[in-house]
Every structure is written in structure tokens, then in C-alpha cells.
Structure 1
Amino acid sequence: MATTDALAATLATKQPRLLAAFQHIIAQNHLAHAYLFTGMDGAGQPELARWIAQRLFCLHVVDGQPDGTCEECVRIANGSHPDIVTVAPTGQSIHVDQVRYLKAEFSKSAVEGNRKIFIIEDAEKMTASAANGLLKFIEEPSGNVTAFLLTANKQLMLPTIISRTQVIDFPPLNTAALRKNFEAAGITPPMAQLLPSLTNSVTEAQQLLAADWLPQAVAALWRWFEQVVNGEPRSFVAVQVHLVGLAKDAQQQTVMLDLIAALFQDLLQLHFQVESATALTFVQYQQALTTLTQQLSARQLVDATELALTAKQQLGRNISFQNVLEGLTLALWPIFTNA
């Protein structure tokens, strides 16, 4: 786990305003009993939760910062502090038994002080029964307890959980700085250019690049796109033969749809010249995209982009990935062939 110095440095880069805000909140003793930290993976949610824990428990706070060297800070950094309990998914979900464990811990006094902190990672993965089981604590907190629910998908959280927590939205990271982070981690410039549309996390980026998956997905997606814009029937076949075969799990399917949305947003950016070319996701295809924007009207580009953006919503409504892509392909044909 990261040291205090590393956490502070990371947060100063990723979320300086939120870091300053919580320094003030803690100094004024205005910390709420339950927070929902929401934003893209890698936006700094777990780092801020752990920094707050260290700030609250540190024995020698200096200028609003934990010193990072006292026994409390070191144990928090090592994940071994008895009064800080973290729950994460086991498999695909956080189950009701895990929440029962948390509730049992809620009722206990702090082991060494008068405060307890609970961190729930990937909170959107709580089953309905687990989330409902957590509501009582959130509605009726007991003792000096603070809970942090961390999520990259607020839309998957129960409205009752959202309404009973202080929701803190973590804004996306600066794209230019994020690309530099990716390149510093050894990621090639074309992939570093593309990845900010998918994640803020170097770790997740490296997972997407494992076994060359992301470059293969981009190449297959571009072949499909070229066929679609030409109204070629084989683009419908390409969905099953190439795209579905590559996107084998829910995460890869979501990434594929995010890539499609980013590709069409690049078209809009080029058409309306709202950003420089360096801001494009698919900068390696800039020339082809520019040529295409010259052949299409603004209305056609907007219609195509809206279709691409709604595709991910359809996947969230339990429509199969293949059906989503086939439907998108059929809907795009007339837009491009009538250009």
C-alpha cells in the first residue's frame, strides 16, 4: 500500500482541490459519517480515503498533513490498522455476509482509540441484499464511525444509498498529464493517446494491453468501422467474426463500446474543430477521419454519434453484446450510405 508521502503526492497531482477540501473539512471537524466517492477508475478515490484515514489517526500532523512516520500512519499504509476495515468484492460481488461483518464491526468500540473507518471498494458490486443491509448504518450511524464507499459506476448504486451519503464526484484527470503517466509506465504513444478515454488507471491500462488485447481490439474496430461507413454488408458479419470474438467478458465488451463512442466523438471534434488534433483518441486515423467528416453533414455526424453513445446503455439493459453491435451496424448504414 502507498506511503503517506506517496498518497499526498498522488492526490496533489490527481485531485488537488479535493485534497485541499478535505484538509479543511477535517480541520473544522465537519467530516460526515458516510461518503460516496465516485469517478473513473484511477481518479484517486482509494488514495483519498486512505489519506483521510492517515490524517485522522496520525500522531504528529504537520500543516494539515499526516507525517507518514508515526506508528499509526505506518500501520495504515501497511493495511494493518485494527480500526480501519476494508471490504472488497469476493469474485464478482460484495455479498450480504460481508456487510453483516461490517455491521458487527460498526457495533464494536474502536480497538485503540475512539474512531473507526470503513472503506468499501467497488461499492457498486454490492448485491441488492448487501446494499439494503448497509442502509441501517447509513441512516442511523452509531459512534464515531465514518464510511467511504468507492465506485467507478455511480449509476449502478441503489438510489437509497446515494441519497443517504455525501456524494463526492472525482473529476476526470487532465488528459495531457494522464498520457504522460501512461508513457512513463512504458505504454506506447498511440496507446497512451487512446487510453484516457477508457481509464485513469495505469494498472487497468496495463491489464487492457496484456496479451496485446487493446491493439487488436482497435485494429478490429477500425476494420469494422471502414466497412460500416461504406455500407458493406460484411460489416454485419464482422461483428460476430471479429468484434464479439475479441470481447469475451463484460469488461472487454464495455471497453469496446467505449472505443466506438470515442471514435465517433473524434469525428465530431474534427468536423466542428473544437479541439486540436492532439486531443483525438484515434489520432493514428486522423487523415481518414478528416476525409470522412468532409463527406458528411453535421446532422449525419450527430445522428451517428448519438447511436454510438446509446449502444452502451443498451448493454446495461441486458441486451447481448452481439445484438447491440448488430443493431448499431444496421442503424449506421443508412446514415453513411445517404451521405
Structure 2
Amino acid sequence: MTIASSLAAKQPRLLAAFKHIIAQNHLAHAYLFAGMEGAGQSELATWIAQRLFCRHVVDGEPDGTCEECTRIATGQHPDIVMVAPTGQRIHVDQVRYLKAEFSKSAVEGNRKLFIIKDAELMTASAANSLLKFIEEPSGNVTALLLTTNKQLLLPTIISRTQVIEFPPLPAKVLQQTFEAAGIPAKQAQTLRHLTNSVTQAQTLLVDDWLPQASEKLWQWFQQVVKGDPRSFVDVQTTLVGLAKEHAQQLVMLDLVAALFQDLLQLHFQVDTAAELSFGQYQSELTALTTTLNDQQLVAATELALTAKRQLASNISFQNVLEGLTLKLWPIFRHSA
């Protein structure tokens, strides 16, 4: 499948929009592509690069096969610089390198492009170093920042870019895509709330990690809503051991948020059970909604949604979950 056909399937409106923007020569100097993993941010960034540099554009489409397009696809074009995390962060020296590269003239033509993947993983110093560069663009330079968690970016970075939101892929399409890749239906139902990427979905299933994480998280959740002190112990004895890697910790916190969102959706009847992340526990969740009031559910969900942001603030995973557990207890102490 070509990049254009992949984009046409995932984000047809965004593809059409950027075809028009580039054809009218109205490309802005900085964009922030924000959306779930696998929603098409990388594909659109590559498509834009090929469209700008392709030697044989036909009907607004790069041919994908010329020397320029081939070098872009393999990351070897001298006028396109890509920055990605080294380890768990993007460091200031990487941004300094980028700035040094773009202070030079284009090697070929008169345009330069830089792409920052996982932009939310920039350290504060890296983000601040990039900020002035975005504020005062020089020459024919375009910046594309890609993120799966816009909330973790500095507001000043967001305000100086044009934010393009990538909507999640339709649930039915994503469910079918995951099942076609050999992922069991129930697991696909949970995974499509976490990622749009088949590759990432399959990674989460290695050694049955996701099923184990979902089961243990459900046990913790049941104890939390009862105010059971064992939920605090479970954090250290079970959940921390299951999520030793940073990527697993992020997914675990996404699952925490998804559980409370499921509860909220059922309580307010704003969605069908088929759209739940934890549809296998539908009957238990439905029963639980009858014992809780609106205020309890909204307050708990807000806490769950902010937990991931705390992890990005260098608070340890264990401390984030222990703190969340302690804050949730008093909310559920008195049932509706």
C-alpha cells in the first residue's frame, strides 16, 4: 500500500486539505499533528515531504518512485531533517543540531523541512530551544511536529503552530483491521481505544501482556471503588511489576482512564456497550453505575485522566498510581 492510499483510507479529509494547501502555496511554517498512535501523522508528514520535493507530481500527488521520493522514504534526503527521541526523551542537543542544520542553505533547491516525532517527549530545555526557532522562521522552512499526547507539550509550542487534530479511525474499521491481523475480537475492542497502529497493538499482546494487565487492573479497580486498602498494596505487588517499561506504564495509565470513561459512558448512557474499552466487564460496570452518583464519577474520571500527565512530570509510575489510589478512596467512600 502506498502512502497516499494509506492516508486516503485513514484521513481522506486531511489528505485533501493538504493537497489544496500546497497547490495554493499556502503552507504554514509550523504544524502540530496530534492524534492517537497510528492515526496517520507520520504518513501525512512523509506525503507532504514527497509532495514538496517530488520531480513528477501528477494531479497533486507525488509519484513516490522518483529519486527524491525514494530518498525521503528512506530518510536520506539532505534537506529534510528528522528528530526522534533518544531513549525516552528528545534532548536539547538534538534541537541544537536541527537549528544548526537549518541555519545553512538548502543543499538542493530552496526549501527545507524538519520533522520532530514524539514531540511531547522534548525536555523543557529542548522545547524552549525550539520555541525561538518556530517563532522566528527564516527562509523557506517548514516544521512538522508529531505527537500522540498534545497535552504534554508546552502551551507556547502549541500556540505557535497550526494544530491539526487527527481523528481516531472509525471503530468498526479499526476493529476489522485488528481482527484481520489475527488479534482476537475482545482484545481488539480494548486495543482500538489505545492505538490505531496494528504494529503497536501486536506489541502489546506479546507474552499476553495486555490481557494480564487488563485483568490485574480490573482487580485493582474493583477494590478502589470499594475503598479497599488492598488496592494500595496491589499497586506495588502487581501493577508496578507488570509495567516495568515506560511504554507499558503509559498504556497502563491509558487503561486506567479508559476504565473510568467506560463507567462514565454507561452511567450517562452516552455510548453503546460495543464502544467500551472493557466490554468484557459490561455487566459489572453497569451494576456499579447504580451505586455511584454523577459527582463521584466525574471527579474520579478527571483524576484518572490527569495521571498520565504526572508520569511525564518525572513522578515515578508507582507514586502516580499510589497517589491516584489514595485520592480515589474518599470519592467512593459513600455510595449514592
Among residues 51, 55, 61, which one is paired with 1:55 in the alignment? 51
Residues 274-283 or 148-157, more deviating:
148-157
- C-alpha displacement at 1:23, in angstroms? 0.5
- C-alpha displacement at 1:334, in angstroms? 4.9
Among residues 104, 110, 119, which one is paired with 2:106 in the alignment? 110
Letter in 2 for 1:13: A
Q: Give the distance between the partners of 2:225 and 2:146, measured in 1 at CA.
A: 40
The reply on whether 1:263 has 2:239 as its aligned counterpart is no
Residues 128-137 or 58-67, more deviating:
128-137
Q: Give the distance between the partners of 1:69 and 1:197, measured in 2 at CA.
A: 35
Letter in 2 for 1:83: D
Check conservation: 2:152, 2:309, Cα contact below 8 A. no
Residues 163-172 or 303-312, more deviating:
303-312
- C-alpha displacement at 1:316, in angstroms? 4.4
- Name the counterpart of 2:19: 23
Relative to 1, partners in 2 of residues 1:305 and 1:159: Cα closer, same or farther, differing over 3 Å?
closer
- C-alpha displacement at 1:335, in angstroms? 4.7
Q: 1:197-236 alignment to 2 at 5 Å?
A: 197-236=193-232
- Name the counterpart of 1:239: 235
Q: Give the distance between the partners of 1:178 and 1:319, measured in 2 at CA.
A: 33
Structure 1 residues not aligned, in runs of 5+ = none
Relative to 1, partners in 2 of residues 1:131 and 1:332: Cα closer, same or farther, differing over 3 Å?
closer
Q: Give the distance between the partners of 2:139 and 2:300, measured in 1 at CA.
A: 54
- Name the counterpart of 1:94: 90
Deviations 1:137-185 (A, max 9, x none): 3233222221212122223323333233222222222222222222222
- Name the counterpart of 2:80: 84
- C-alpha displacement at 1:267, in angstroms? 1.7
Relative to 1, partners in 2 of residues 1:188 and 1:103: Cα closer, same or farther, differing over 3 Å?
same
Q: Give the distance between the partners of 1:99 and 1:334, measured in 2 at CA.
A: 44
Q: Give the distance between the partners of 2:124 and 2:31, measured in 1 at CA.
A: 19
- Name the counterpart of 2:66: 70
Structure 2 residues not aligned, in runs of 5+ = none
Letter in 2 for 1:108: K
Percent of paired sites with the same residue: 76
Pairwise CA RMSD: 2.3
Q: Give the distance between the partners of 1:27 and 1:19, measured in 2 at CA.
A: 12
Q: Give the distance between the partners of 2:33 and 2:189, measured in 1 at CA.
A: 26
- Name the counterpart of 1:182: 178
- Name the counterpart of 1:120: 116
TM-score by length of 1: 0.89
- Name the counterpart of 1:138: 134
- C-alpha displacement at 1:331, in angstroms? 4.1
Q: Give the distance between the partners of 1:125 and 1:307, measured in 2 at CA.
A: 22
Check conservation: 2:236, 2:318, Cα contact below 8 A. yes
Deviations 1:211-253 (A, max 9, x none): 2211111111112223334443323322221112212233322
Deviations 1:290-324 (A, max 9, x none): 22223334444334333433443444454443333
SS in 1 for 2:205: helix
Q: 1:149-188 alignment to 2 at 5 Å?
A: 149-188=145-184
Deviations 1:9-37 (A, max 9, x none): 12112211111111010010011122222
TM-score by length of 2: 0.90
Q: Give the distance between the partners of 1:42 and 1:73, measured in 2 at CA.
A: 22
- Name the counterpart of 2:317: 321
Letter in 2 for 1:306: E
Letter in 2 for 1:86: M
- Name the counterpart of 2:35: 39
Deviations 1:73-132 (A, max 9, x none): 222222222222212222222233322322232132222322222112122223333333
Relative to 1, partners in 2 of residues 1:91 and 1:238: Cα closer, same or farther, differing over 3 Å?
closer
Relative to 1, partners in 2 of residues 1:88 and 1:307: Cα closer, same or farther, differing over 3 Å?
closer
The reply on whether 1:12 has 2:11 as its aligned counterpart is no
SS in 2 for 1:146: strand
- C-alpha displacement at 1:274, in angstroms? 1.7
Q: In the comparison of the two structures, how many residue pairs are matched?
A: 335
